[in-house]
C-alpha cells in the first residue's frame, strides 16, 4: 500500500483536489452570506465575494476545502516514517518555492513565528553587541524581551533604533559588527524594510535576525542578507497557527555551535543543539515536540495552491495588485490615507490606513462593514494609531479588494452623517 506520495505526485494530487467540486471555503462563505447580500438603497454595488480581510489568521486560499487534505498521516506518530516524510516534504517544498540557498537550513518549530524568533534570540544573542530595530508592536516586543528577559544589557551593549507608526528608523545607523534584530514587515504599522536590504553589509561579522512572518511569500527575500529568518503558516499562505518556521544560514549554524550563553536556562522547546552541535534532525522533519499533522497537511496544500498561481513570483504579484487597488482608491479620496506615507516602504500585505474620523467613528466604520458582511476584522491593531488594516496577501482575491473600495466610501459617508 502506498503510504506516501513522491514530491511531484503529492503536488499534483493537491492541485487536482483543489480543482474538484468539493465545497470550497470561498464559495461556502459566499453562500452563507447570500441573505446578507440584499443591498440597501444607498449600497454602492456588489459586495466582495469573500469578506475575510483579517491580518492573522488570514483567509484560506481560493478553492480551499478541508476535504482536499491528504489524511494518511493523521492518527500516526510524527516520529513514524510517514510522519517524518510529510514533515520533510513540507520543508523541502518551502526551500524550493522560496528559492532558499542549498546550504541554508529550514526547520519546523513550536509556537508559531513568536516561538521561532524567541528560539533564535535565546540561543544566539549575547555573543556580540546588538542593534534592535523596531517601528511597531512586534518589533518593540523583541526589544523588550532582549533587555527585560534575556537581560542582554548586563553582558553586551544593546542599541535601540526606533520610529513611530508609519515610519522607519534610520537603518543605516546599524553596525555590521553587531547582531541586528528587525522585522521585515511591520504587520501592525504597514511599514516594511526597503527592497534588497542594502543597509545590511555583505561583509558583516554580526548576525541578522529577521522576523518575516507577514513578508515571506509576498516580498522578495534577500537571503544573502538574512542569517536567521522566521515566519508562521497563518499569514500569506492562510495556513493554520501554532507552528513556526526557522531558516538558518551557515553563519547562524556556526554561531549555534560556537556560542553557549552562560547562566541562561534553555527550555526544551528552544533547544537547537546537543552537546555543542546543531540538532540536525530538526531540519529533516524530526520536530522538537508533537506537531499537528493536520496543520502540516494544510500547509502542504497551501504550497501546492501557491504553485498553481505561479509560485513565489505569482504570490508577490497578487499582493502587489491588491495594494495597487487600494493605492488608486486612496489617491482619489482625501479622507483616507496610508499610515506609511513613503510608497517604497509601504507593505503590500498588512495595509494600514488612517481615516478622517474620530477613534469612536472609526470603530463605528469597522462595525458597519462587519454588520454588512463586507469586510471582517479590519480594525487597526490595538497599539497602533486609530486606523483600519486590510490584509492584501495573495489568498485575498484582487476582485474582492476592488469590490471593497466603494464600500469604504459608503461606510465613511454613513458614519459622517
The per-residue pLDDT for 43 is 83
Show pLDDT as tens, one digit a residue, over the chain (417 residues).
333 344 444 444 444 434 443 444 444 454 444 434 434 546 899 999 999 999 999 999 999 999 999 999 999 999 999 999 999 999 999 999 999 999 999 999 999 999 999 999 999 999 999 999 999 999 999 999 999 999 999 999 999 999 999 999 999 999 999 999 999 999 999 999 999 999 999 999 999 999 999 999 999 999 999 999 999 999 999 999 999 999 999 999 999 999 999 999 999 999 999 999 999 999 999 999 999 999 999 999 999 999 999 999 999 999 999 999 999 999 999 999 999 999 999 999 999 999 999 999 999 999 999 999 999 999 999 999 999 999 999 999 999 999 999 999 999 999 998
Distance (Å, rounded) from C-alpha 319 to C-alpha 341?
18
The residue behind cell 524567541 is: 118
User: For the packed helices 398-416 and 311-331, what is the interaxial angle rounded to 10 degrees?
Assistant: 30
Quickly list DSSP for 151-183.
Answer: -GGGTS-EEEEE--TT----GGGS-TTSEEEEE
- 143-165 residues labelled b (16+ CB within 10 A) or e (exposed): bebbeeebebeebbebeebebeb
CA–CA–CA angle 111, 112, 114 (5° rounding): 85
The per-residue pLDDT for 27 is 47
Q: Give strand ranges (E) for 356-400.
A: 388-391
Amino acid at each position: 500500500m502506498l503510504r506516501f506520495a513522491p514530491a511531484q505526485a503529492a503536488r499534483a494530487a493537491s492541485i487536482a483536489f483543489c480543482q474538484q467540486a468539493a465545497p470550497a471555503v470561498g464559495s461556502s462563505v459566499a453562500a452563507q452570506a447570500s441573505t446578507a447580500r440584499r443591498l440597501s438603497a444607498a449600497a454602492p454595488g456588489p459586495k466582495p465575494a469573500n469578506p475575510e480581510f483579517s491580518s492573522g489568521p488570514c483567509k484560506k486560499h481560493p478553492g480551499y476545502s478541508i476535504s482536499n487534505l491528504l489524511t494518511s498521516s493523521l492518527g500516526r506518530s510524527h516520529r513514524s516514517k510517514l510522519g517524518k516524510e510529510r514533515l520533510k516534504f513540507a520543508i523541502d517544498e518551502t526551500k524550493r518555492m522560496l528559492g532558499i540557498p542549498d546550504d541554508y537550513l529550514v526547520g519546523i518549530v513550536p509556537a508559531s513565528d513568536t516561538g521561532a524568533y524567541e528560539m533564535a534570540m535565546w540561543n544566539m544573542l549575547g555573543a556580540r553587541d546588538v542593534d534592535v530595530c523596531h517601528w511597531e508592536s512586534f518589533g518593540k516586543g523583541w526589544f523588550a524581551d532582549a533587555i527585560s528577559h534575556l537581560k542582554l544589557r548586563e553582558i553586551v551593549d544593546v542599541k535601540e533604533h526606533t520610529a513611530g507608526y508609519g515610519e522607519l528608523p534610520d537603518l543605516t545607523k546599524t553596525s555590521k559588527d553587531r547582531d541586528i534584530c528587525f522585522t521585515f514587515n511591520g504587520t501592525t504599522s504597514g511599514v516594511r524594510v526597503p527592497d534588497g536590504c542594502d543597509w545590511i553589509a555583505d561583509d558583516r561579522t554580526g548576525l541578522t535576525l529577521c522576523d518575516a512572518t507577514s513578508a515571506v511569500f509576498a516580498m522578495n527575500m534577500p537571503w544573502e542578507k538574512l542569517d536567521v529568518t522566521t515566519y508562521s503558516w497563518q499569514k500569506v499562505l492562510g495556513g493554520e497557527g501554532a507552528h513556526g518556521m526557522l531558516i538558518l544560514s551557515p553563519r547562524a549554524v556556526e554561531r549555534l555551535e560556537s556560542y553557549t550563553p552562560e547562566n541562561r536556562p534553555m527550555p526544551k522547546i528552544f533547544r537547537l543543539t546537543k552537546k555543542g552541535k546543531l540538532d540536525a534532525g530538526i531540519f529533516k522533519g524530526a520536530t522538537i515536540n508533537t506537531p499537528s499533522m493536520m496543520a502540516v497537511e494544510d500547509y502542504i496544500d497551501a504550497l501546492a495552491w501557491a504553485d498553481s498561481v505561479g509560485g513565489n513570483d505569482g504570490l508577490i504579484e497578487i499582493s502587489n495588485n491588491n495594494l495597487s487597488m487600494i493605492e488608486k482608491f486612496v489617491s482619489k479620496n482625501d479622507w483616507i490615507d496610508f499610515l506609511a506615507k513613503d510608497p517604497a516602504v509601504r507593505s503590500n500585505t498588512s495595509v494600514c490606513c488612517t481615516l478622517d474620523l474620530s477613534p469612536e467613528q472609526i470603530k463605528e466604520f469597522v462595525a458597519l462593514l462587519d454588520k454588512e458582511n463586507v469586510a471582517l476584522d479590519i480594525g487597526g491593531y490595538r497599539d497602533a494609531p486609530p486606523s483600519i488594516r486590510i490584509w492584501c496577501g495573495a489568498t485575498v482575491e484582487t476582485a474582492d479588494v476592488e469590490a471593497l473600495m466603494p464600500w469604504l466610501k459608503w461606510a465613511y459617508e454613513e458614519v459622517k452623517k
